[in-house]
Amino acid sequence: MATLEKIRKKGPLVAVVIGLALLLFILGDIFRSGSALFQGGQTTVAEVAGESIDVRDYFNRIQEVENIYKNQGRLDAQGSEMVRTEVWNEMISNVIFSKEMEALGLSVEHKGYKGISPEEVTDMVNGKNIDPMIQNIFTNRQTGVFNPADVTSFLRQNNASTNPEAFAQWRQIEQELLKKRINEKYYNLVIKGLFTTSFEAKKAVNEATAKASIVYISKSINAVADSAVTVSKEDMEKYYDEHKYLFEQEVSRDAAYVSFNIVPSAEDSALAIEDINEINKEFRNAADAFEYGRMNSDLTVSKDFITAANLGSPLDTSLFNMEIGSFFGPYFDQSYWKVSKLIETKEVFDSLKASHILIAKNQQTGDMTQAKAIADSLKQVIANGADFALIALTNSQDQASAQKGGDLGWFSEGMMVPSFNEAVLKGEINQIQVIETDFGVHLVKVTDRRNKVKKAQIVSVARYLDASEKTRNLLYQQASKFAIESSDYEKFNENITKYQYKKLVARNILPGATRFAAIENANVLVKSIYNTEKSKIVVNTSENSNPVFEEGESYIVAFVTEIKDKGFASFENVQLQIETEVRKQKKTEKLAQEFAMAGTGSLETLANKLNVEVKAANDVVFSAFQIPGIGIEPKLNGVIFALEPQKVSPVIKGNTGVFMVNVIAKEQADESMFGAELSKLNRDLESRIAYQIFPALEKKAEIKDYRYKF
């Protein structure tokens, strides 16, 4: 019989595991490639322009931001990674801009902020130029009116001694307000120092509107075989020295690894089938299907009614059309063995339309008493003839719908939270209902319903097909054996071939990453990679020096294959890329020599000698991304607009081959566009500041990233 809390039998191979652990301990020095991370009590997570950021401040800020996301119910593994990146950028940005403000000496210091005077603060809060943030916070939700006196009254009544909680909230608002104003000042200073000259505007108009018609001959580098040119190491080293700027890189690591995926064995599958068969017998005899499912299923049991399309195969074509009370299964569905029962079917509207007014609950206590009173009052006002849309616009705290008079548009049945969904599904058209949800109190008006569809209520009992402890132990032993035998990188590669494993590669692993390849929350592995030398096996530097990492549903054995420091990639790391470029250059040189040997004359004469055809291209524009019929050839484009008409150009070495061109005609630029272009270029210049200034300051700041140490 299947019990309510059935425990699967485990089969640990105790003697083998203990023996293996002892062996790993004895051989620990083989794998050790680093030392303890916190030697010397290091707490610096970053250095920015010589200033340190303490790791405790970094993690405290991460916790603060994560709590905000958690309160909104939207923090998953991907969200956690995003928070870390967000906090990192924020703290780096704060240091960089703080130093910029100090260097500029903006105004006077006010409560720890340089560049803000007391008079400015007063003006932003309750003066003539009140900041939109203050207006939004203190606008009366019932009347939609902002009164500066409300701000003054709040500040008088809520100080550190009378209401410390409200005062702390105000200080947070003030900090954000001051930071916002400082940034505005800085950006305005930069913007006012930049402008477009009339020469630049005329040049831009000419490049965008002047046109040329050409005829040309060409040969592609693909016409030259790779074997026809020789690329020496000296050639490549010369290219590297001359083009080193192309190979700038940030700090990162590359790793090669083998993943031992933790998947159920045949024995695990057999036990799961036996288990689901027992459940099938009990489920069919259960007095309360929902209660049995709630207590025995590995998935949450829902009482929602769903369409056949949402059920998916195989239930959409089988159980959905059976008689009420029918069972289906056991069947396998996305890692679960399941048995399902059809409880009920009904015809319901699937397309719903409604408007609402949200009065939020007390954010500190969660109490809805005041919100309920306001909602009841507004309901009475609407009943007395007030316009629902106008009341929503001036009172609803769901700003997105408030701007549309509370209109939520069309949505499917089941999309909203249960109580809201029920109200829209069952309420009369245009009837005003007052309901409560986790967000607060809503005035709901149903405006339309369409598309009746058949929906079914189905309860399923599921058993997850998981790898047993025995299977996990066997896979761990396999991974450990491989790690022990792979004490250096050469043996690692030999053993991959020997055991026919798949070698995987993770490139450009960043210092603060928590993801390794496609594996989430692998920060211990990433940290250990950063504390491992090149061509050494990665061991857990946080504990035990173990070379086997359990990450997600895999055991990982990895080697560091490349250590990339900030600066320029080494010649060895980019040699293959350079070889391709140098080979292309040599092919181009070979073709250029062939063209030169053809001598001079008209394009037609040269075309006959070179066995190519003369082609034409019209409407060639200098600033265009590519030349019609030719492609991306900036050198050719430059020659076209520098060449006098009816003259044959010299040989042009391009991206894809070599060219000779004759300009047939040129169409002059449209000078009437000069004024509009000048205004456009100035607008573009201002807009670029927002996304170009910080990267420039960041590069100048010489940031040292130590996130991998914590």
Whole-model pTM: value is 0.60
Specify the higher pLDDT residue, 309 or 371.
371
φ, ψ for residue 536, nearest 5 deg: -110, 150
| Residue spans of beta strands (DSSP E) within 465-564 | 504-509, 549-551, 554-564
Q: Report the C-alpha dihedral over residues 203, 204, 206, 212, rounded to 10 degrees.
A: 120
Confidence check: pLDDT of 555 > 90 = yes
Confidence check: pLDDT of 520 > 70 = yes
Instruction: Label residue 148 by pLDDT band (50, 70, 90).
Output: confident
Specify the higher pLDDT residue, 678 or 234.
234
Identify the pLDDT of residue 703.
Answer: 86
Contact between 557 and 483 under an 8 Å Cβ cutoff? The reply is yes
Q: Measure the CA–CA gap between 534 and 630, rounded to whole angstroms.
A: 45
Give the angle 249-253-256 at the CA atoms, nearest 5°.
135
Convert the pLDDT of each residue in 460-500 to its tens digit.
999 999 999 999 999 999 999 999 999 899 999 999 999 99
Amino acid at 682: N
- Least confident residue range of 39-48, 53-62, 105-114, 257-266: 105-114
* SS3 state of residue 273: helix
Alpha carbon distances (Å) from 500 to 320, 493, 497, 654? 46, 10, 5, 46
Convert the pLDDT of each residue in 325-350 to its tens digit.
889 889 998 889 999 998 888 888 87
What does 181-204 look like in DSSP terms, one character per residue? HHHHHHHHHHHHT----HHHHHHH
Q: Measure the CA–CA gap between 227 and 23, rounded to whole angstroms.
A: 53
Give the angle 286-292-293 at the CA atoms, nearest 5°.
130
The count of other CB atoms within 10 Å of the CB of residue 368 is 17
Residue 445 bridge partners (DSSP)? 355, 432
Fold (topology level) of 354-438: Chitinase A; domain 3 (3.10.50)
* SS3 state of residue 360: strand
Convert the pLDDT of each residue in 69-95 to its tens digit.
776 555 666 667 788 888 888 888 888
Instruction: Label residue 224 by pLDDT band (50, 70, 90).
Output: very high
Stretch 516-521: mean pLDDT: 82
User: Is the backbone peptide bond immediately before 132 cis, with ω within 30 degrees of 0?
Assistant: no
Token duo for residue 404: 């549309």
Q: Euclidean distance between the first and final Cα of the chain, in Å?
A: 49
Q: What count of Cα atoms within 13 Å lies in the side-chain half-sphere of residue 507? A: 2
Q: Measure the CA–CA gap between 629 and 547, rounded to whole angstroms.
A: 56
Convert the pLDDT of each residue in 335-394 to its tens digit.
899 999 988 888 888 788 999 999 888 777 778 888 888 888 888 888 888 888 888 888
Identify the pLDDT of residue 481.
Answer: 95
CA nearest neighbour of 125 among 180, 188, 174, 166? 174
Identify the pLDDT of residue 580.
Answer: 94
Contact between 231 and 586 under an 8 Å Cβ cutoff? The reply is yes
Give the angle 289-293-294 at the CA atoms, nearest 5°.
120
* SS3 state of residue 616: strand
Residue carrying structure tokens 């059309």: 321
Q: Measure the CA–CA gap between 456 and 293, rounded to whole angstroms.
A: 17
Contact between 378 and 391 under an 8 Å Cβ cutoff? The reply is yes
Confidence check: pLDDT of 2 > 70 = no
Token duo for residue 313: 């195969």
Taking each continuous run of H as one helix and of E as one strand, the counts in the chain are 24, 21
Alpha carbon distances (Å) from 698 to 91, 187, 691? 12, 15, 12
Q: Measure the CA–CA gap between 640 and 649, rounded to whole angstroms.
A: 8
Stretch 224-244: mean pLDDT: 94
Q: Measure the CA–CA gap between 331 and 316, rounded to whole angstroms.
A: 13
Mean pLDDT score of the chain, rounded to an integer? 84
Residue carrying structure tokens 């996301």: 69
Convert the pLDDT of each residue in 28-59 to its tens digit.
443 333 333 344 457 898 889 888 999 898 88
Q: Measure the CA–CA gap between 408 and 403, rounded to whole angstroms.
A: 10
Contact between 337 and 273 under an 8 Å Cβ cutoff? The reply is yes
Q: How would you write 641-662 as a 3-class SS string?
A: HHCCCCCECCCEECCCEEEEEE
High-pLDDT (> 90) share of the chain, %:
36
Q: Measure the CA–CA gap between 394 and 377, rounded to whole angstroms.
A: 14
Identify the pLDDT of residue 20.
Answer: 37
